[in-house]
Amino acid sequence: MGPKVSIVVPILNGARFIDRAMGYLESQTFRDFETILIVDAKSTDDTVKVAESHSDKAKIVIKNVPGSLGVSRNMGVNVARGGFIWYLDIDDRPLPNLLERMTRIQEEHDADVVGCNFIYSANIDTDYDLSKYDFKVRVMTSEEAVKARSEERFPVTAWSKIYRRSMLIDNDIEFADRFCEDIEYTYKTLNCSKKVCYTEEPLYIYYQHEKSYCMSGAQSDDRGKAEQHAYRVLEEYLSNTNSEEVNRRNALTRIRSSGHMTYRTFIQYAKSKECRWMLRRYCSDPIVLEAMWYRFFPTTYYVAIRVFFRLMYYRDGRIYTDPTGIPGLTHPKRIKKHR
């Protein structure tokens, strides 16, 4: 019999993070897990060497085939023995009780997917005072979970969830080989689940450093285009469900996510036939004022959404779903460390 959880950790040029990440896993209060490091052979630093130094604590898989982060995760699932899968990003920080809380919730509700809240942080070692919050666990049907995701009340990130492995295999759910692979994967897993749980308790620190995907501008056009493509795919995938309201909310997500693009590419997309069709189809009856702003005054919208991303959405210390009920405003106090 295999472990309760298989932890899949893709690594590309992440040598400087490996020892720290393994330390976080060693600190987990729940111990019934295996660790699988999927090491990309294209790494140009000491990733392979450092990963192999942990071969006594983890299964090391060298990836010699082309493909993105999604391909690495798929490889991990194929060799996993656990009943549940958790995808850890090598540069982030799971709190010590993450697996204990997530597996307990799963067992209490027999859930196929369990998600957790998280904190955006510019300092991986920062601790936060969460004592004043009353965290709740939401138990949802598949349809309720898909709706919650479209309303940004459930995270799209793969690393914030544990998934029943048999559900992934039985439904042939795999990551796409492209950027923003989490979007399609999350909707597909929720759509195929019988029961989904989400804890408002932040159990994961999402490290926003200068080389992280969301903070780097080097791939902003690729990211923005990939997000648009992912939501186009989802329109067809969700067509057999009660998806009109979900697609309507996803249209709003799409125009906001296009703000990740550089200005020139953003304007090209805002004026494209595809975008205008989407706005007419999902945002004109009833009229969505934000969509009209985007349609007729794209430059001012672009400036506003970029400011929103920088000062609010990716702000250091922000909790993803706000337990106070005021979305986007909660930033817990840092705990001062005594030396």
Q: Report pLDDT digits (tens) over 163-192.
A: 999 999 999 999 999 889 999 999 999 999
Whether 20 has a pLDDT exceeding 90, the answer reads: yes
Residues 33-60 as b or e (16 or more Cβ within 10 Å = b)? bbbbbbbbeebeeebbebbeebeeebbb
Q: Give me the pLDDT at residue 298, please.
A: 98
Average pLDDT, the chain: 92
Q: Give me the pLDDT at residue 339, please.
A: 35
- CA dihedral of 213, 216, 217, 220, whole degrees rounded to 10: 0
CB atoms closer than 10 angstroms to residue 75: 18
Q: Specify the pTM.
A: 0.93
Q: Residue 8: beta bridge partners?
A: 36, 87
Q: Report pLDDT digits (tens) over 114-168.
A: 999 999 999 999 999 888 888 999 999 999 999 999 999 999 999 999 999 999 9
Q: Give me the pLDDT at residue 331, please.
A: 66
Q: Give me the pLDDT at residue 211, please.
A: 60
Whether 208 has a pLDDT exceeding 90, the answer reads: no
Q: Which range has the worst mean pLDDT, 2-11, 19-28, 223-232?
A: 223-232
Residue type, 24: Y
pLDDT band at 93; cut points 50, 70, 90: very high
Q: Give me the pLDDT at residue 238, please.
A: 79
Residue 318's contacts (CB-CB under 8 Å, 6 or more residues apart) are: 119, 120, 312, 328, 330, 331
Q: Which range has the worst mean pLDDT, 175-184, 207-216, 307-316?
A: 207-216
Q: Give me the pLDDT at residue 244, please.
A: 84
Q: From CA 269, how far away is CA 264, in angstroms rounded?
A: 9
Q: Give me the pLDDT at residue 235, please.
A: 84
**Topology (CATH) of 5-207:** Spore Coat Polysaccharide Biosynthesis Protein SpsA; Chain A (3.90.550)
Whether 38 has a pLDDT exceeding 90, the answer reads: yes
Whether 210 has a pLDDT exceeding 90, the answer reads: no
Q: Report pLDDT digits (tens) over 263-282.
A: 999 999 999 999 999 999 99
**In the predicted model, what is the mean pLDDT of residues 96-102?**
98
pLDDT band at 338; cut points 50, 70, 90: very low
pLDDT band at 88; cut points 50, 70, 90: very high
Whether 215 has a pLDDT exceeding 70, the answer reads: no
DSSP state of 309: I
DSSP state of 260: G
